[in-house]
Structure 1
Amino acid sequence: MRGSSFKTMIFKCFRPFALVLYACTAINYVAAQVPSISIPPVAAASVSDPRSLNDWLLRMHQASSQRSYVGTFVVSAGGNMSSAKIWHVCEGKQQVERVETLTGAQRSIFRHNNQVITFMPEHKVARSEKRESLGLFPEMFQSADSRIADFYQFRREGIERVAGVDADIITLMPRDSLRFGYRVWSERQNGLVVKLQTLDTDGKVIEQAAFSELQLDAPVSMNQLIQMMGKVEGYRLEKPVLVKTTASAEGWALRAPVAGFTAMNCYKRPASSAGEGPLQWIFSDGLASVSIFVEPFDRQRHVRESSLSLGATQTLTRQLDAYWITLVGEVPAATLQLFASGLERKK
């Protein structure tokens, strides 16, 4: 549940799309005092382009869910580099995607709407899971209630060519020290994200993800990808079960909210012969996310508390009474500490 290097790499391959998908969820403003950092004033979008931050995010989201393309995606973080080949096709509200890892362990990941199958050839295992879709037209963009702009300010940075296409550049800087900033390149004609940099609180690039080559509106066959997705002969098919729940129902709470971060989902795996199933509690501020994993403490497996940083991803582990807590997020380490210190057992 804490995630392997492969899972981390795959998530990062979708980082630009994760960025705009997280922005598809309504974020409630949490009034709280947080440490401030000194950020140079950011100019508003130019007079010739009056689009708001939400306008830009909606445009990127629609492009990611409506454009077909084939490309090679490269991620650089913490001195490591990973790459994957992506085939993406859309027909109406139907989306199908195929991802082939080009570095590290061989993996083939297929997604048809909210159904995902991961093929692991060296183990002859295929893992089938359902992952919730946030929809093509999130309600937050249809109202004035979006709070992302309360925590991020943005400016246009110009135009640059990436993977053979002209792209607009915008920078999103946090208004406090609890989150990272982003510099985003989106294809000018339709808004597909083609490059993303994550910036620390000093504005330094700590992670980059970009297409090295990209063919827009590629002639990808949806039926062919769906057929490939269904070829599980010779593989042991696993179907992990995630049960949707709430943290309060499982006896967990935060003593105080972390400014801007709202609880999005909570899942639990069913209990097994090994004991109680682990819990995952997910938070987001609209762009960044934090997951809290809770499982029974095991003295043999959970040796010592630790913290780890890999690019933008921070990990923190600690023991809390009879439980082992793992926090993972694309946020500064201090933000994870706030979540960790506020977590409490209610029953």
Structure 2
Amino acid sequence: MLAWYAKWGGIAVGVALWLIGAASAEPAPCAVAVSDAPAASRPTDVAGWIARMHHASLSRNYSGTFMVLSSNGAMASSRIWHACEGSQQIERVEALSGTPRIVFRHEGEVRTFLPQARIVRSEMRDARGLFPRVPDAEGVSPDKHYAVKAAGRERVAGLDADVVAFIPRDAWRFGYRIWAEQGSGLALQLQTLDAEGRVLEQAAFSELAMESPAGLQAMLRMMGDMEGYRRAAVPLERTTADAEGWRMRATVAGFVPQGCYKKARAVQAEVPRTVLQCIYSDGLATLSVFLEPYGAGRHPEGARSVSMGATQVVAQKVGQDTWATAVGEVPLETLRRFIGALERAR
């Protein structure tokens, strides 16, 4: 159950949730190669660093092997291809561990190939950036909640990188240490740190080439080749918490709503039920609150909490008929604060 929420929320599953950053709404034109671009001046604030890394993730062709290692010993690896042409972006992520799957993202569509089941799942989501996870978070002010500190220069995957620390100003969020390629700002490695500075999760390219083995058009043909697969559309309906009869009495300072979605979740031998997902961001960290009808046979009476490296999960019954699950790369107390603030809108 909790793993399902983590997957739908896009958290800690093969590809890490890296940064939620503010940047321009329109993708930048695709650059030829990092080595052709002059080194940009280093930002001095959190928002500037996020914008630089966001721009680099959208304006470069690259491919590489990406590893995620959690403090609980879990490890996952993926092969990443990113290609751009003008303002168009496409991404291909192939899982190298766990269940075989290949995920394409293009123009707001996420298409997941499951070779063992011979199924292709297709869903439309807001096109808020590709790999690393750097969607445009609206209305956030990360500099109010994090301090930035230069931490030297190192090499990652054979490339020179600036090391930057994002230090939380309170206990509601984790800290981060990021290695950004010097010439472009592309994020090469990231560590998520707890309040004592311990590494909860590390994600990094083990090898990276500033090119893609296939261009945008070739990758579009791969995405469109569904011969031998059954296509299953996954409808998502954009909504708001108020429209669904919910509101927050209060939220944690800095976390701003980024949208809500409804999805019908099919359950074996049961009638599909609707799950509501509401997303919040502070400009770096992100979390999701899921709401679904409570079922005594599916859910326990008491609250549950789980730590999976940097990803934390809190789940409990709210009111008489609702099961709430909060998932995010934030401290457990932050998730408890969100669930505790839930109430029916009058």
Output the amino acid matched with 2:279. Answer: I
Candidates 123, 128, 139, aligned match of 1:134: 128
Take 2:15 and 2:118, find their aligned partners in 1: how far apart are those partners? 24
Take 2:265 and 2:181, find their aligned partners in 1: how far apart are those partners? 46
Deviations 1:154-198 (A, max 9, x none): 100111000010000000010000000000001000010000000
Specify the alignment match of 1:64 in structure 2.
57
Specify the alignment match of 2:343 in structure 1.
344
- From the superposition, tell whether residues 201 and 186 of structure 1 become closer, same or farther in structure 2 (CA, over 3 Å): same
Take 2:6 and 2:277, find their aligned partners in 1: how far apart are those partners? 19
SS of equivalent residue, structure 2 residue 183: coil
Take 2:137 and 2:89, find their aligned partners in 1: how far apart are those partners? 22
Offset at 1:303?
2.9
Deviations 1:189-216 (A, max 9, x none): 0010000000001111110000000001
- From the superposition, tell whether residues 120 and 172 of structure 1 become closer, same or farther in structure 2 (CA, over 3 Å): same
Specify the alignment match of 1:327 in structure 2.
326
Take 1:344 and 1:300, find their aligned partners in 2: how far apart are those partners? 24
* Equivalent runs, 1:1-347 vs 2, <5 Å: 2-4=2-4, 7=7, 11-12=11-12, 13-15=14-16, 18-19=18-19, 22-24=20-22, 51-77=44-70, 78-134=72-128, 147-269=141-263, 274=271, 276-304=273-301, 305-320=303-318, 321-347=320-346
SS of equivalent residue, structure 2 residue 274: coil
Output the amino acid matched with 2:58. Answer: S
Take 1:193 and 1:187, find their aligned partners in 2: how far apart are those partners? 6
Offset at 1:116?
1.1
Q: Is the 8 A contact 1:197 1:206 kept in 2?
A: yes
TM-score by length of 2: 0.86
Offset at 1:218?
3.6
Output the amino acid matched with 2:4. Answer: S
Take 1:195 and 1:240, find their aligned partners in 2: how far apart are those partners? 32
Deviations 1:219-247 (A, max 9, x none): 53211111111111221211111111110
Take 2:200 and 2:210, find their aligned partners in 1: how far apart are those partners? 28
SS of equivalent residue, structure 1 residue 90: strand
- From the superposition, tell whether residues 249 and 333 of structure 1 become closer, same or farther in structure 2 (CA, over 3 Å): same
Moved more, 188-197 or 233-242: 233-242
Stretches of structure 1 that go unaligned for 5 or more consecutive residues are: 27-47
Q: Is the 8 A contact 2:238 2:261 kept in 1?
A: yes
Output the amino acid matched with 2:69. Answer: S
- From the superposition, tell whether residues 76 and 118 of structure 1 become closer, same or farther in structure 2 (CA, over 3 Å): same
Take 1:76 and 1:242, find their aligned partners in 2: how far apart are those partners? 31
Q: Is the 8 A contact 1:243 1:270 kept in 2?
A: no
Q: Is the 8 A contact 2:316 2:324 kept in 1?
A: yes
TM-score by length of 1: 0.85
Offset at 1:4?
3.3
- From the superposition, tell whether residues 214 and 106 of structure 1 become closer, same or farther in structure 2 (CA, over 3 Å): same
- From the superposition, tell whether residues 333 and 266 of structure 1 become closer, same or farther in structure 2 (CA, over 3 Å): same
Deviations 1:74-103 (A, max 9, x none): 000121110000111111111111111111
Take 1:85 and 1:300, find their aligned partners in 2: how far apart are those partners? 39
- From the superposition, tell whether residues 189 and 313 of structure 1 become closer, same or farther in structure 2 (CA, over 3 Å): same
The percent identity for this pair of structures is 45
Take 2:337 and 2:6, find their aligned partners in 1: how far apart are those partners? 27
Take 2:42 and 2:88, find their aligned partners in 1: how far apart are those partners? 32
Q: Is the 8 A contact 1:6 1:105 kept in 2?
A: no
Q: Is the 8 A contact 1:96 1:222 kept in 2?
A: yes
Stretches of structure 2 that go unaligned for 5 or more consecutive residues are: 25-40
Give the CA RMSD over aligned residues.
Answer: 2.6
Offset at 1:113?
2.7
- From the superposition, tell whether residues 2 and 249 of structure 1 become closer, same or farther in structure 2 (CA, over 3 Å): farther
Moved more, 108-117 or 79-88: 108-117
